[in-house]
């Protein structure tokens, strides 16, 4: 009996280890090929992802979050006019040498912390902005047969434990496909993908359907999909059956919803943290204020300025 018990234990351990291996998430896709029309005219020449919150471009926050979650391969789906983004990931030997020789070691350290290892970054082109789903599909050849993450850099999430790391940890237990989710007001639900909820267990939501941009008043819940995903190659295969969806675009939500239809698991993950929609002007400005106030070197001066602005505005009313 003792022998049988230890064989069963070993089998269980091997199965758990096998699942862990299958659920290792080491690749992330960053779709950055959108037109960014809400930021025109700036986005005529500056990619939205290069716009800065205080002194770091949006894309840097996304990279840092991916690294914290154990991502090793970074796949950018880019487009015409995004070369500033590709340049950003090159090392800058001249700048590094100048900072070194002038003894600006703190700046040198900041600069070096943004360097990417050779071979860790790949670029795929999306020739036409046909939608987020299409952008993700453009990276299909680089994904192979393992789960992968998708990060939308214009959703910036301030959190003690980075959002993708929270999800990767939860994913070890759940498998399936997973999307980040948060509550939004009924009025805003029609701007998002929305979850149809089967059941909830703490932060994990079992999903029985998903709708992209439901018309006002028809959303199946108040849980919206936010720009962090852990997906399987099967989701990419679903695009063979998925046509154009909401807004005439090829929607990622529809390919994930096809998983539910096929009887496979899809989960929402209610992350802890504050999300800023930096794809919109109001969200970008809110993030700028929040991130500036969180910086010890700026906090006091900036808070005093905001207080003064507030008093001036109140006096004028
Ligand atoms: P958005 O819906 O914010 O669209 O895309 P957008 O084009 O960037 O911005 P607006 O709405 O015109 O202002 C969400 C994410 O999907 C990417 C975007 O780059 C962004 O990261 N995306 C969208 C693509 O990569 N390709 C597409 O065809 C559409």
| Cα 224 to Cα 197: distance, rounded to the nearest angstrom | 11
Number of Cβ within a 10 Å radius of residue 168: 25
* Ligand 1: centre distance to CA 207 (Å): 25
Pairing of strands 148-151, 27-31: parallel
* Ligand 1: centre distance to CA 35 (Å): 6
Per-residue pLDDT of the chain (317 residues; tens, 9 = 90+): 676 777 667 656 555 555 555 889 999 999 999 999 999 999 998 999 999 999 999 999 999 999 999 999 999 999 988 888 888 888 888 999 999 999 999 999 999 988 888 889 999 999 999 999 999 999 999 998 999 999 999 999 999 999 999 999 999 999 999 999 999 999 999 999 999 999 999 999 999 999 999 999 899 999 999 999 999 999 999 999 888 888 888 999 999 999 999 999 999 999 999 999 999 999 999 999 999 999 999 999 999 999 998 888 888 87
**Is 182 within 8 Å of 274 (Cβ atoms)?**
no
From the CB of 36, is ligand 1 less than 6 Å away?
yes
The model's pLDDT over 181-229, given as tens digits with 9 standing for 90+, comes to 999 999 999 999 999 999 999 999 999 999 999 999 899 999 999 999 9
Q: Where are the beta strands (DSSP E) in the chain?
A: 27-31, 52-53, 56-57, 73-78, 121-125, 148-151, 155-158, 177-183, 193-201, 204-212, 223-231, 266-270, 274-277
Spacing of C-alpha 226 from chain mean position = 8
| Closest ligand 1 atom to Cα of 79 | 25
**Is 88 within 8 Å of 59 (Cβ atoms)?**
yes
The 3-state DSSP class for residue 128 equals: coil
* Ligand 1: centre distance to CA 152 (Å): 9
From the CB of 152, is ligand 1 less than 6 Å away?
yes
Q: Is 80 left (phi over 0), alpha (psi -120 to 50) or beta?
A: beta
| Closest ligand 1 atom to Cα of 249 | 28
From the CB of 131, is ligand 1 less than 6 Å away?
yes
Spacing of C-alpha 177 from chain mean position = 15
| Cα 106 to Cα 286: distance, rounded to the nearest angstrom | 28
Is this structure's pTM higher than 0.85? Answer: yes
Number of Cβ within a 10 Å radius of residue 109: 10
| Closest ligand 1 atom to Cα of 32 | 19
* Ligand 1: centre distance to CA 32 (Å): 7
């Amino acid at each position: 009996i003792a022998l049988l018990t230890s064989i069963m234990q070993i089998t269980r351990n091997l199965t758990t280890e096998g699942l862990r291996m299958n659920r290792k998430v080491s690749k992330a896709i960053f779709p950055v090929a959108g037109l960014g029309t809400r930021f025109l005219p700036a986005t005529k020449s500056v990619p939205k992802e290069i716009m800065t919150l205080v002194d770091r471009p949006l894309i840097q926050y996304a990279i840092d979050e991916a690294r914290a979650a154990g991502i090793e391969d970074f796949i950018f789906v880019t487009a015409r006019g995004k070369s500033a983004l590709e340049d950003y990931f090159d090392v800058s030997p001249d700048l590094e040498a100048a900072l070194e020789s002038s003894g600006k070691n703190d700046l040198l350290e900041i600069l070096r912390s943004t360097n990417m290892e050779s071979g860790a970054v790949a670029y795929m082109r999306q020739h036409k902005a046909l939608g987020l789903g299409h952008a993700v599909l453009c990276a299909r050849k680089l994904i192979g047969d393992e789960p992968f993450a998708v990060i939308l850099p214009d959703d910036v999430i301030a959190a003690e434990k980075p959002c993708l790391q929270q999800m990767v940890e939860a994913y070890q237990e759940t498998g399936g496909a997973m999307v980040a989710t948060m509550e939004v007001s009924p009025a805003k639900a029609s701007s998002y993908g929305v979850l149809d909820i089967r059941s909830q267990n703490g932060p994990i939501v079992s999903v029985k359907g998903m709708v992209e941009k439901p018309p006002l008043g028809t959303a199946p819940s108040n849980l919206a999909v936010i720009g962090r995903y852990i997906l399987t190659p099967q989701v990419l295969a679903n695009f063979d059956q998925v046509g154009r969806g909401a807004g005439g675009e090829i929607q990622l939500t529809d390919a994930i919803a096809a998983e539910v239809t096929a009887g496979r698991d899809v989960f929402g993950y209610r992350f802890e943290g504050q999300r800023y929609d930096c794809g919109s002007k109001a969200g970008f400005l809110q993030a700028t204020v929040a991130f500036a106030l969180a910086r010890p070197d700026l906090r006091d001066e900036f808070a005093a300025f905001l207080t003064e602005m507030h008093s001036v505005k109140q006096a004028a009313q």
